[in-house]
Amino acid sequence: MAATIGRAGSRSRPLVGITASVHGSRIAAMANRLALWRAGAASVRITVDAPFPIERLDALVVGGGDDIDASLYGESARPHIRIDPDRDRLELLALDRAARLGLPVLGICRGSQMINVHRGGSLHVDIHEVYEEAPHMRTVLPRKRIRIEPDSRLYRILGIAECRVNALHHQSVDRVGDGLRVVARERAGIVQGIEAPAEPFLIGVQWHPEYLIADSRQQALFRRLVVTAMGEAPLDEIAGVAPAQ
Pairing mode, strands 123-124 and 139-148: unpaired
Decide: 158 and 199 in contact? Cβ < 8 Å. no
Decide: 105 and 153 in contact? Cβ < 8 Å. no
Backbone angles phi, psi at 155, to 5 degrees: -65, -40
Report the alpha-carbon distance of residue 20 to residue 130 in Å, rounded: 28
The 8-class DSSP code of residue 46 comes to E
Please count the residues of the chain: 245
Decide: 221 and 209 in contact? Cβ < 8 Å. yes
The 8-class DSSP code of residue 14 comes to -
Instruction: Give catalytic residue positions.
Output: 109, 208, 210
3-state secondary structure (DSSP) of residue 135: coil
